[in-house]
Amino acid sequence: MSSSSASVDLSRYGWDEDWQSAFAPFAAQGLIPGRVARVDRGLCDVVTSLGTLRADTALVTPRDPVRIVCTGDWAAVAEGVAEIGAQVRALLPRRTAVIRSGASRRSLGQVLAANVDTVVIAVSLAVEPDLGRVERFLALAWESGATPVVALTKADLAPDAQLIRADIERIAPDVPVHVVSATEREGLAELRAVLGEGTVLVGQSGVGKSTLANALVGEDAMDVRAIGVDGKGRHTTTTRELLPLPGGRGVLIDTPGLRGVGVMDVAGGLQQVFADIDRLAADCRFADCGHLGEPECAVQRALDEGELSYRRLDSYRKLQRENQWMARRADVRLRAEARRARIERDRHWRGRGRDARANRQV
Ligand SMILES: Nc1nc2c(ncn2[C@@H]2O[C@H](COP(=O)(O)OP(=O)(O)OP(=O)(O)O)[C@@H](O)[C@H]2O)c(=O)[nH]1
Ligand SMILES: [Zn+2]
């Protein structure tokens, strides 16, 4: 699909009047708008009205990984002439960003998708779902500014899909939960109906995201391959793609499967996922109740009555601790960076002073 020359209608990719007005200053510089469909090692595929261009992203590569170009971004692109290829010159400010904490142990974030209004969390019905992991994804999704939806995949492999659905609904208040089978093409229309203008599919590796994306888009658009390269014969999505859904129903972004998903800066998201616990806590006698045996604790009462599970309260505490820990790490990192910058600056000025003295002596 790359470098087609046909004229592309960008409204199929989510272009609207607000983007248009945000773009005005770039249009004045002769740049063209494009939506980033895929990013890899310094280059990206960007869909413009002229077709998909391969563009250099060096000019928009800051140190902060959260600000690095990502699938779903709207970019101001210089088309390029002769040997000089296309270049991404700037990114329009994002409306939403789905961010997880970085894969490494350093406290850096990684943007999974930008400018989506729906986050579909894919959870496989083929295995016992890990409720804590679903809660993590929900926190990320709420925090992004988009709306979460849960898709329970591989329904054809699960005799008790409705039981699992009830469990998920309990931990995901106010979130639509859909049971689908991509291979049997079941539940797809219902799922499609709740998607917004832009959707990203997230979830663990192997839950069936790419297969579901293909089923929703209606063609073999994603690269789903059984590869033996890693020796485990796992199915792995090697690229991240953005595709328009049929019937003008917005775009769909597939993401590579995540082994683990860390949270950072998700305090607001956690409050939304665990709104039930916060509501209970409001009825505790003490405003700062730790729900650890204090008298007249509404959370303890709900635990005793089986209205709230110990697992869910533990999960909330664990995610809160992780979030605070990540925030502290980010603080430490920012302070270290500031210190490094100060040392650099001092060295620079000391060097200049030495040069000036040396000059005087000549
Ligand atoms: N039975 C059944 N198998 C499915 C279904 N959807 C996906 N699969 C299978 O599950 C395996 C993983 O599917 P993928 O679509 O590659 O999963 P993914 O989540 O994109 O995986 P990553 O790319 O690693 O993130 C493949 O063997 C699919 O054929 C389904 O609805 N039913
Ligand atoms: Zn309490």
pLDDT at 151: 98
Is there a single domain that holds both residue 123 and residue 217? yes
CA distance 326 to 246: 40
pLDDT exceeds 80 at position 350: no
User: Dihedral (C-alpha) 115, 41, 107, 73: value to the nearest 10 degrees?
Assistant: -10
Choose one of 211, 238, 239, 254 to mutate for the ligand 1 pocket test, by most ligand atoms within 8 angstroms of C-beta. Answer: 211
pLDDT at 106: 57
Task: Tell how far the Cα of 206 is from the centroid of ligand 1, in angstroms.
Answer: 5
DSSP type of residue 41: T
Which 3 state secondary structure label does DSSP give 344?
A: helix
Ligand 1 within 6 A of CB of 187: no
220 or 48: whose pLDDT is higher?
48
Is there a single domain that holds both residue 166 and residue 17? no
CA distance 26 to 31: 6
Is there a single domain that holds both residue 32 and residue 155? no
Is there a single domain that holds both residue 18 and residue 122? no
Mean pLDDT of the chain: 85
Is there a single domain that holds both residue 51 and residue 196? no
pLDDT at 328: 79
pLDDT at 361: 60
Structural domain including 50 reads 10-91
CB 140 within 8 A of CB 101: no
Confidence of residue 216 (pLDDT cuts 50, 70, 90): very high
Is there a single domain that holds both residue 102 and residue 234? yes
- The answer to the question of residue 131 being in a domain is yes
Is there a single domain that holds both residue 69 and residue 195? no
Task: Tell how far the Cα of 317 is from the centroid of ligand 2, in angstroms.
Answer: 13
Task: Tell how far the Cα of 296 is from the centroid of ligand 2, in angstroms.
Answer: 7
Confidence of residue 23 (pLDDT cuts 50, 70, 90): very high
- Separation in Å, CA 23 to CA 11, 256, 300: 14, 30, 53
346 or 211: whose pLDDT is higher?
211
Q: Are strands 32-40 and 74-78 parallel, antiparallel or unpaired?
A: antiparallel
Domain-terminating residue out of 63, 91, 119: 91
**Amino acid residing at 22:** A
Of the candidates 194, 185, 193, 127, the one whose C-alpha atom is nearest the C-alpha of residue 161 is: 127
- The answer to the question of residue 117 being in a domain is yes
Give the CATH number, domain containing residue 134: 3.40.50.300
Confidence of residue 4 (pLDDT cuts 50, 70, 90): very low
pLDDT at 335: 75
- The answer to the question of residue 339 being in a domain is no
Number of domains in the chain: 2
pLDDT exceeds 50 at position 207: yes
pLDDT at 105: 57
- Predicted TM-score (pTM) of this structure: 0.83
- The answer to the question of residue 277 being in a domain is no
**Residue % of the chain over a pLDDT of 90:** 61
- The answer to the question of residue 211 being in a domain is yes
DSSP type of residue 151: E
- The answer to the question of residue 348 being in a domain is no
Ligand 1 within 6 A of CB of 300: no
Is there a single domain that holds both residue 115 and residue 227? yes
Please report which ligand is nearest the Cα atom of 304: 2
Domain-terminating residue out of 60, 75, 91: 91
pLDDT exceeds 50 at position 225: no
- Residue whose CA is at the smallest distance from ligand 1 atom 16: 235
Q: What is the mean pLDDT of residues 178-192?
A: 95
Q: What is the mean pLDDT of residues 120-131?
A: 95
355 or 278: whose pLDDT is higher?
278
CA distance 130 to 250: 30
**Amino acid residing at 237:** T
Choose one of 133, 235, 237, 241 to mutate for the ligand 1 pocket test, by most ligand atoms within 8 angstroms of C-beta. Answer: 235
Is there a single domain that holds both residue 117 and residue 202? yes
Is there a single domain that holds both residue 179 and residue 200? yes
Confidence of residue 220 (pLDDT cuts 50, 70, 90): very low
Domain-terminating residue out of 43, 67, 91: 91
CB 269 within 8 A of CB 138: yes
- The answer to the question of residue 354 being in a domain is no
Is there a single domain that holds both residue 135 and residue 87? no
Q: What is the mean pLDDT of residues 234-257?
A: 73
User: Dihedral (C-alpha) 229, 230, 232, 237: value to the nearest 10 degrees?
Assistant: -80
For residue range 290-330, what is the model confidence (pLDDT) as tens digits? 999 999 999 999 999 999 999 999 999 999 998 888 777 77
pLDDT at 61: 82
pLDDT at 287: 92
pLDDT at 326: 77
Is there a single domain that holds both residue 182 and residue 144? yes
pLDDT at 227: 37
- The answer to the question of residue 72 being in a domain is yes
Which residues make Cβ contacts (< 8 Å) with residue 316, sequence separation at least 6? Answer: 135, 270, 274, 277
Give the CATH number, domain containing residue 67: 2.40.50.140
Task: Tell how far the Cα of 298 is from the centroid of ligand 2, in angstroms.
Answer: 5
ipTM over 0.90: yes
For residue range 58-110, what is the model confidence (pLDDT) as tens digits? 988 887 778 889 999 999 999 987 778 899 999 999 999 998 876 555 557 88
Please state the atom number of ligand 1 nearest to the C-alpha of residue 122: 19
pLDDT exceeds 80 at position 275: yes
How many CB atoms lie under 10 A from the CB of residue 329? 16
